Structure 1
Amino acid sequence: MLKAVILIGGPLKGTRFRPLSLDIPKPLFPVAGLPLIQHHIEACIAVTNLKEILIIGFYPVTQLQQFINDMQSQYKVIIKYLQEFTALGTAGGLYHFRDQIRSGSPDAFFVLNGDVCADFPLTELYEFHRERSLTSLMTVMSTEATRQQSLNFGCMVVDKTTQEVTHYVEKPSSYVSTSINCGIYVFSLKIFNFMGETFNIKQEEYYKNDNGNVNKDAGYLQLEQDILTPLAGTGKILALQTTNWWSQLKTANSAIYANRHYLGLYKQKHPERLATGKKAEQCTIIADVHIDPSATIDSTAVIGPNVSIGPDVVIEAGVRIKESIILDSAFIGERSLILHSIIGRNSRVGKWARVEGTPSDPDPNKPFAKMENPKLFNNDGRLNPSITILGCSVSVPSETILLNSIVLPNKELSRSIKNEIIL
């Protein structure tokens, strides 16, 4: 029997994902028509003998309960949300809820970071770990980055013969390795023994410092710094490198990138989710496109490639949409153009308007062709070229242009804007 744990953090995190996270928890943001962590859940249930999925974070239960109920009903698997009383860190939450994870004595358990997007090779990861579980406590999924990109991730030095992780540094200040941590793991239950030792040391340090000279609570443990780094070089950590697509969802830019790749995966695994057949007859489709059945689209509209359209969206005549996400109940007026943008819930774009972003995708010819989560501002203080984002309930007048801009929720624009953040 196997279990899986999805770590989703809480509302104090995900600030780089604003304004999209202001009206919906980031783990539930729809990518390719599904809430982000539903992609995780689908990957987990595809693993043979996986019986339970635990979601750990410190979002209020009320924000996730309906989603949990829907997922249990749809996938017929036990799914539970375990709410942290405060932010405990990526390992602190695992250790705090160790009894729930160990219940039923699973052979192993997966851990997936909630902001990861991937073609998850979980079965391959488990089989690799099982063959070596007598000597290792955990196996980390890794991928290849360029030297420069690697500085933004956890870097591992891996013995090519034994696949053991001999050295690990989280976001190093100088080059360590091009093998990076994907935030996807499989653990043996014995890992809790080491976590317990680390927890006790942290407790002693915390109280020795009179509770006031440390930044975090005594129960705060980071999987990367507190577990991976000290275990590296002991023969207890293995790494399995994957060539599957992988990225993180840190910024809104990366949502567009993840949307594109999940739509591409649908062609192989869920072709019924793409706009083909009767759905495609609504308008002109340039693959790949996902359209919710409840959306209303004029037959003269041209949609795609790489577009997701949510429930109850209305798209009028002559609209052109490309490389974008249109969220629930948005309205796009006739002859408007939407490029490299995210249109928030209940937002309205008037007739003959142009909403456009400038993509900043990596060079696909280089290793690690994945989104890098660029900074919001350049060094000179100007807004970086980026996608355009409309928060929820934003109104864009007819015949206006929005270029590389971010508009916070509940704003009614009166003019064209370029490279601005409208607060």
Structure 2
Amino acid sequence: MLKAIILVGGPMKGTRFRPLSLELPKPLFPVAGFPIIYHHIEACSQVPGLREILVIGFYQPNEALNRFISQSQQEFQIQIRYLQEYTALGTAGGIYHFRDQILTGSPEMFFVMNADVCGDFPLCDMVQFHKEKCPDASGIILGTEATRGQSQNFGCIVENKDTHEILHYVEKPETFVSTLINCGIYLFTPEIFSTLEVTFKKNLEDNYNYCDQNCHIPGFDFQTPSKEVIRLEQDIFIPLASTKQLFVFPTSRFWSQIKSAGAAVYANRHYLTIYQRTHPERLAKNGEGQPRIIGDVFIHPTASVHPTAVLGPNVTIGRNVTVGEGVRVRETIVLEGATLQAHCCILHSIVGWHSSVGVWTRVEGTPNDPNPNKPFAKLEIPCMFSSDGRLNPSITVIGSNVQVPSEVIILNSIVLPHKDLNGCYKNQIIL
């Protein structure tokens, strides 16, 4: 029996995803028509013997999260539970805190998946790799190749090329270490809890030693971070490297992180491409009385799209969206309830929930992707801001309930929710 854990973080995270994360927890943001972690759950449901999925984070349970979990349980016929941390416990602290829940039923192995990654997850291949190549290992990390420059933004892995044992691990190194990077997808056996216990006790001892020397109340400090905070990357992987307990499973499949809104648009593109193989029925098709479709396009069944509209490539039209006459949409996510009025043009953008774009208006971002056909892990996904604090040219994001007037241009801008715009904007954050 196997289990899976999805780490969703909490409301203090996802700041780079604003203004979209102001309305909805980032893990529930729809990419290619479905919430980000829906794709994780769907991948887990296809692993034979996987019986339960535990979602761990410190979001307060709300209607959207509860409804999503209930609907996912019914669709995939798998047990899904949300376990709320009392505070941010790090990427491994929540796993250790809820160890009894994870070990209930004596699972042989369990996956751990970060919610802010997306990809064509090779979970079954990881299980097979563990059984055939490293049955005594405590953990396997999914790895992929990045460029030399990108690698320093991730956890870098030095492996034995023959056995795939991890010999050295460095999280976000200051100098170049390796182009093989950590994808944030792991497969562990219950033996990993022995290492977590050692780390927890060491943290506890270090805290008490610090308090004995520096605190008014010996043995306890209210100011230091929780003693239960454990980081998989720094506290677990670094000491496990070169002990024959940690291995890497390299993949060349699509993978990336979703840190910014721009990354969501790229992820949308690649999930739509995956649908060609896994869910061709989700992709819109050309036909009489239907809008013109170019490439991969997802249209929710409740959306109303005028037959003269032209959509694609790489477009998602959400629930109850209205697309008017002569509208052109490309490389864009249009969220629930939005209205695109006649002859507007939306390129490389995200249009927020229940927002409206006026007649003959142009909303456009500047993609930082000179070759859309190259492997996804090689794409340069820009940050929202440059090092000097200026807005980087990237996609345009229209927040929820924004009214964009007719016959204007919105270029490379971020619009916060509940705004009534009254003119053209370029390279601005509209507060």
TM range (shorter): over 0.9
> Within 5 Å, which residues of 2 pair with 1:173-252?
173-210=174-211, 211-212=220-221, 215-252=224-261
Q: Would you say 1:12 and 2:12 are equivalent positions?
A: yes
Give a deviation string over 1:244-295, Cα, whole Å, max 9, x none. 01000000000000000000000000011111266x8431111200000110
Judging changes above 3 Å, is the alpha-carbon distance between structure 1 residues 281 and 216 closer, same or farther for their aligned structure 2 residues?
Answer: farther
- What secondary structure sits across from 1:265 in the alignment? helix
Could you tell me whether the CA contact under 8 Å between 2:145 and 2:377 is conserved in 1?
Answer: no
Paired position in structure 2 for 1:124 = 125
What's the CA shift for 1:129?
1.1
**Percent pairwise identity:** 56
Residue type of the partner of 1:184?
I
> Within 5 Å, which residues of 2 pair with 1:62-81?
62=62, 63-81=64-82
Judging changes above 3 Å, is the alpha-carbon distance between structure 1 residues 216 and 170 closer, same or farther for their aligned structure 2 residues?
Answer: same
Judging changes above 3 Å, is the alpha-carbon distance between structure 1 residues 267 and 217 closer, same or farther for their aligned structure 2 residues?
Answer: same
Consecutive unaligned residues of structure 2, counting only runs of 5 or more, are 212-219
What's the CA shift for 1:379?
3.7
Residue type of the partner of 1:3?
K
The structure 1 residue matched to 2:274, chosen from 236, 248, 265, is 265
Distance of 1:288 and 1:66 partners within structure 2:
28
Paired position in structure 2 for 1:39 = 39
Distance of 1:197 and 1:242 partners within structure 2:
31
Residue type of the partner of 1:218?
K
TM-score, L = length of structure 2: 0.95
Structural RMSD (CA): 1.6
Paired position in structure 2 for 1:101 = 102
- What secondary structure sits across from 2:124 in the alignment? helix
Of 234-243 and 269-278, the range deviating more from structure 2: 269-278
What's the CA shift for 1:381?
3.7
TM-score, L = length of structure 1: 0.97
Distance of 1:49 and 1:395 partners within structure 2:
49
What's the CA shift for 1:362?
6.5
Could you tell me whether the CA contact under 8 Å between 2:338 and 2:351 is conserved in 1?
Answer: yes
Paired position in structure 2 for 1:159 = 160
Of 133-142 and 212-221, the range deviating more from structure 2: 212-221
What's the CA shift for 1:382?
2.7
Distance of 1:132 and 1:192 partners within structure 2:
22
Could you tell me whether the CA contact under 8 Å between 2:144 and 2:377 is conserved in 1?
Answer: no
Paired position in structure 1 for 2:302 = 294
Could you tell me whether the CA contact under 8 Å between 2:8 and 2:56 is conserved in 1?
Answer: yes
What's the CA shift for 1:214?
7.1
Could you tell me whether the CA contact under 8 Å between 2:368 and 2:381 is conserved in 1?
Answer: no
> Within 5 Å, which residues of 2 pair with 1:265-344?
265-276=274-285, 281-344=289-352
Could you tell me whether the CA contact under 8 Å between 1:254 and 1:371 is conserved in 2?
Answer: no
Could you tell me whether the CA contact under 8 Å between 2:96 and 2:196 is conserved in 1?
Answer: yes
Could you tell me whether the CA contact under 8 Å between 1:141 and 1:184 is conserved in 2?
Answer: yes
Could you tell me whether the CA contact under 8 Å between 1:146 and 1:368 is conserved in 2?
Answer: no
Judging changes above 3 Å, is the alpha-carbon distance between structure 1 residues 26 and 368 closer, same or farther for their aligned structure 2 residues?
Answer: closer
Paired position in structure 1 for 2:215 = none
What's the CA shift for 1:376?
2.0
What's the CA shift for 1:209?
1.9
Distance of 2:394 and 2:189 partners within structure 1:
42
Of 177-186 and 376-385, the range deviating more from structure 2: 376-385
Distance of 2:65 and 2:337 partners within structure 1:
21
What's the CA shift for 1:65?
1.0
Judging changes above 3 Å, is the alpha-carbon distance between structure 1 residues 369 and 116 closer, same or farther for their aligned structure 2 residues?
Answer: closer
Residue type of the partner of 1:296?
S
Paired position in structure 1 for 2:399 = 391
The structure 2 residue matched to 1:353, chosen from 356, 361, 364, is 361
Could you tell me whether the CA contact under 8 Å between 1:390 and 1:407 is conserved in 2?
Answer: yes
Judging changes above 3 Å, is the alpha-carbon distance between structure 1 residues 368 and 227 closer, same or farther for their aligned structure 2 residues?
Answer: same
Judging changes above 3 Å, is the alpha-carbon distance between structure 1 residues 201 and 242 closer, same or farther for their aligned structure 2 residues?
Answer: same
Q: Would you say 1:408 and 2:389 are equivalent positions?
A: no
Distance of 2:184 and 2:292 partners within structure 1:
39
- What secondary structure sits across from 2:337 in the alignment? coil
- What secondary structure sits across from 1:127 in the alignment? helix
Q: Would you say 1:59 and 2:59 are equivalent positions?
A: yes
Could you tell me whether the CA contact under 8 Å between 2:294 and 2:311 is conserved in 1?
Answer: yes
Of 262-271 and 366-375, the range deviating more from structure 2: 366-375
Of 200-209 and 344-353, the range deviating more from structure 2: 200-209
Judging changes above 3 Å, is the alpha-carbon distance between structure 1 residues 367 and 355 closer, same or farther for their aligned structure 2 residues?
Answer: closer
Distance of 2:224 and 2:358 partners within structure 1:
48
What's the CA shift for 1:368?
6.0
What's the CA shift for 1:174?
0.4
Distance of 1:13 and 1:365 partners within structure 2:
31
What's the CA shift for 1:146?
1.2
Distance of 1:372 and 1:193 partners within structure 2:
38
Give a deviation string over 1:342-375, Cα, whole Å, max 9, x none. 0000000000100000011265687764444322
Q: Would you say 1:378 and 2:386 are equivalent positions?
A: yes
Consecutive unaligned residues of structure 1, counting only runs of 5 or more, are none
Residue type of the partner of 2:301?
P
Distance of 2:66 and 2:408 partners within structure 1:
40
- What secondary structure sits across from 1:243 in the alignment? coil
The structure 2 residue matched to 1:255, chosen from 247, 264, 270, is 264
Could you tell me whether the CA contact under 8 Å between 2:363 and 2:410 is conserved in 1?
Answer: yes
Residue type of the partner of 1:150?
S
Of 200-209 and 28-37, the range deviating more from structure 2: 200-209
Distance of 1:285 and 1:277 partners within structure 2:
6
